[in-house]
Structure 1
């Protein structure tokens, strides 16, 4: 089978398309014929040896996929060959086949195509877990979404609206903000112009925001924290800016605020039943038209490195997907 391999840690341009042996499935695993793979920020880190876990070299990046079940291992009862499914793989998704634990596989809902499904799980799973389990977002609260035009950011905008919040979308350009507006944002902030804290204070009549969804990090983190309402919750989702923020702890004290980590991959493993309930709700909202995933760019497998680079340079509007078949 064909796979796009990382043979040595380095930039996305160093990935190589190669023929490799198909994976063998173990008990409890599902073998998927991959049709499409979602591209996510961790892909840019894992190929450079900068992620919190590293597979042995060589490996294929690609942390989420959608495809058709080719075979199932012993002890797997809830999937059979021919089923359409999506899966969280960690890595290995940029390949024609991947073996993954059945616990990390979800049946695809009717009416969802492979490209959409490949970009759905991680973005919407992360945003749902962040806003539901971690922030306990309530109807009528104000939600600020940083990086609101990225895949995870747009998911947070849509889910925030579905949960009844007032959503303020913040991004670095007018083009990106227009995408967030289409996704349902109530207010827009271009944080390349002016100070985010001051703008937020004006947007909320001095009250501040209840919840911040931050997949960006960097200097925006502290500005958002300074603009939080009493009992606010700041969600640490990721660091797309490339900078992990260091903030004065007294700001959390003065605001009575909580800084909360979000690690959906670990949550999905540790609390599989809660994750399944989350996806039941997400699929219901999708069927109702409340969630409309935006796949902005599709790359062939041979250009998977360019897909990762496009996302890493923050040039994507919505999700980037690699079409494998």
Structure 2
């Protein structure tokens, strides 16, 4: 049976019925047996889970990191890292260093808070964003991070698109001036959450990155959002590839793991691998099924979609 259909059929048939760590599929203990046999084997692409994704297997932050590592994941994504107490940041950094794991993106709130929009050109918003960039430098240094997510904010109806775009470019240039000396990169994320958001398309983000003209301002290509907003995923990624520095994952509809929606992740991962992408792919989605069985099914979904070498 085709691998994608196999994963999908598991979800549609309600086959995740095991409650002792065993998932029953037509009488077999598929996920437990496969998971045990490949435990610790790294994936061919560098997928990054987030805290809470495997909460039924581990509760403490360090234990969750250990579980991720044991399943073959070599990176972590933590959007809310800047809001964590400094002691937690240190604990995370220490455990990741010990395991040899890399940190994916975290969110710069000064630009990511949709209530404060860089489109307006208002000095107070621009300065707040620059100050958050300065704080992000300290957090990045502590956890050895390289990328941070930025969302410019809401569309400003009182201003033309050209003026809004110029305002965003100016603010991002200021932010890049803070990050560039440290070798850090803010990644701009076009989103689909609401049509009122300013940044929604890959080509729009590509144009802004070209205008900012800094290695510290690139694209975060979230496959879930881009499928919703524009589709043609591979061709659009190809057109914008030179400015893409980070990728996020989520199937559509539902924003769950690969194989649970309409996106052909096997083809997309194959394309990304053939492009020679060595960066992180953030697993910014939920789990299709609850409990330990659902978490094991999620891991198996990535094993099935991961490109062969």
Q: TM-score range by the shorter chain?
A: 0.3 to 0.5
TM-score normalised by structure 1 residue count: 0.32
Larger % of helix: which?
Answer: 2
TM-score normalised by structure 2 residue count: 0.33
